[in-house]
């Protein structure tokens, strides 16, 4: 068994301490300006990484975050685990009952909110791959599929927070936006898992088998698996210490689901996400239990993950203004037009439809996780990654104010359920 040296242990502990302190302080600063904590955590990483510290004091950066040694390997593993946990709590936000309640309207909004941005996001990179910085010309189709998926997904936790801040979460339009975002995320992450299978990530299976396994895993987990959880969770709540029992068991299933999908060649995050949906949709997994899991992950592992983003890439040398503006334009136009049109066809006014489009445009942490995995697997280069991170930040920051502007003084007039 390989052991960390004394120096590696010191390095790792200092890294974790510095990342958590910087992430917390900048997250609190972001909240002061009514912005998501992830914005502050990303800025903390940029300050600690090659963009700022590495430019001002390269020796300090190299000593604090060495690229070689056991500490770096362990930190990379912890960051990967953090990414898996973040997708688990994203899955907890998905409530299949809300999707079913919205019925045809949710299907219409989610369909247009997925297909329009996906089509635009696929077309431009496919026909102009060099402009979009394709990392490997041999994967032109896969690269375009990824960019389409990146334009199509949403950030459900950000959307829920925005709707709550505007006091329209329980309105007819608010529930429609949430249900549509849930469907888009489910389909989007499934597509992305298949894309990773297409590049043969740790897997010799055919693409047909990959798709079959992906769909089968999701279907079985959300039907038979969810039924079993509804039988197991009451026993856990009665027999095991609370909240330790439900916390450890839920994360254990999260890791097992992630391990299974990673084993069959689909990324681990998909298994964690589907497990999160199964747990979150159970009537025996209480809101208090969800809050405990959220607090545990969001305040310890999420800062480590998002601070680490800034440690990987120099955001100054890899910033491409033209590419960033094009990606921002595609993101805004595709999601707002698609989701807005779908909401309008669902019977809402143009003003409400525009607001729904602005709400669905928030990408947040999900976009960053998607981009990081694509970067690690060689689908995109660092310039595209930086542009995607900036797009995620801009769409998250602007969604709330744009929704408020489009609705004007009508936020309080919506019918409540």
Res 409: pLDDT = 55
Sign of the torsion angle spanned by Cα atoms 282, 288, 291, 296: negative
Residue 175: per-residue pLDDT: 80
Q: How far is CA 237 from the centre of its chain?
A: 29
Q: What pLDDT score does 2 carry?
A: 64
Residue 303, φ and ψ in degrees, nearest 5: -60, -40
Task: Count the helices and strands in the chain (H runs, E runs).
Answer: 19, 0
Check residue 416 and give its pLDDT.
38
Grouping H, G, I as helix, E, B as strand and the rest as coil, residue 12 is helix
Domains and CATH numbers, the chain: 80-413 (1.20.1530.20)
Rounded Cα distance between 46 and 32, Å, is 19
Instruction: Name the nearest CA neighbour of 154 among 180, 119, 124.
Output: 180
Q: Which phi and psi (to 5°) does residue 154 adopt?
A: -130, 180
The whole-number pLDDT of residue 281 equals 81
Angstrom distance (rounded) from CA 306 to CA 43: 9
For residue 134, list its beta bridge partners: 380
Residue written as token pair 């689909």 = 266
Under DSSP, the state recorded for 415 is P
CB neighbour class for 69 (10 Å; exposed up to 12, middle 13-18, buried from 19): middle
Residue by residue, pLDDT tens for the chain (417 residues) are 567 888 888 889 999 999 999 999 999 998 898 888 888 999 999 999 999 999 999 988 988 888 777 788 888 899 989 989 988 988 888 777 777 777 778 888 889 999 999 999 999 999 999 899 887 888 899 999 999 999 998 877 778 777 877 777 777 778 888 888 888 888 888 888 778 777 665 555 666 777 788 888 889 998 999 889 989 999 988 888 888 888 999 999 999 999 988 887 777 888 898 999 899 888 888 888 899 998 999 899 989 999 999 898 899 999 999 999 999 999 999 999 999 998 888 788 888 899 889 989 988 777 888 888 888 888 899 999 999 999 998 998 888 889 888 887 555 444 333
pLDDT at 162: 79
């Amino acid at each position: 068994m390989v052991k960390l040296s004394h120096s590696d242990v010191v390095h790792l502990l200092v890294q974790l301490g510095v990342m958590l302190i910087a992430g917390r302080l900048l997250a609190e600063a972001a909240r002061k300006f009514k912005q998501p904590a992830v914005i502050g955590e990303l800025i903390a990483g940029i300050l600690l990484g090659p963009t700022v510290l590495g430019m001002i004091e390269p020796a300090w950066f190299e000593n604090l975050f060495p690229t070689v040694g056991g500490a770096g390997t362990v930190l990379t593993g912890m960051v990967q685990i953090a990414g898996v946990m973040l997708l688990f709590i994203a899955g907890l936000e998905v409530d299949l009952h809300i999707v079913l309640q919205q019925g045809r309207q949710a299907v219409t909004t989610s369909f247009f909110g997925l297909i329009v941005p996906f089509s635009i996001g696929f077309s431009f990179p496919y026909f102009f791959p060099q402009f979009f910085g394709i990392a490997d010309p041999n994967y032109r189709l896969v690269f375009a599929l990824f960019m389409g998926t990146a334009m199509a997904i949403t950030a459900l936790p950000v959307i829920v927070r925005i709707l709550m801040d505007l006091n329209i979460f329980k309105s007819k339009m608010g529930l429609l936006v949430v249900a549509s975002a849930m469907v888009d995320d489910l389909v989007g992450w499934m597509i992305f898992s298949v894309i990773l299978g297409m590049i043969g990530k740790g897997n010799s299976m055919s693409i047909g088998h990959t798709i079959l396994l992906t769909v089968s895993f999701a279907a079985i987990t959300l039907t038979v698996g969810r039924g079993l959880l509804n039988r197991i969770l009451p026993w856990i709540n009665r027999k095991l210490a609370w909240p330790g029992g439900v916390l450890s068991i839920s994360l254990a299933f999260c890791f097992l689901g992630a391990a299974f999908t990673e084993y069959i060649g689909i990324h681990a995050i998909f298994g964690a996400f589907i497990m999160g949906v199964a747990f979150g949709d159970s009537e025996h997994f209480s809101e208090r239990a969800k809050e405990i899991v959220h607090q545990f992950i969001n305040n310890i592992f999420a800062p480590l993950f998002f601070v680490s983003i800034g440690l990987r890439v120099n955001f100054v040398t890899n910033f491409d203004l033209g590419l960033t503006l094009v990606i921002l334009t595609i993101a805004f136009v595709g999601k707002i037009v698609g989701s807005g049109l779908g909401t309008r066809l669902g019977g809402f006014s143009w003003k409400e439809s525009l607001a729904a489009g602005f709400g669905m445009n928030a990408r947040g942490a999900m976009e960053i996780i998607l981009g990081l995995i694509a970067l690690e697997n060689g689908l995109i280069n660092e310039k595209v990654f930086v542009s995607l991170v900036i797009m995620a930040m801009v769409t998250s920051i602007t969604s709330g104010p744009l929704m408020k502007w489009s609705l004007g003084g009508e936020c309080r007039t919506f019918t409540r359920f």
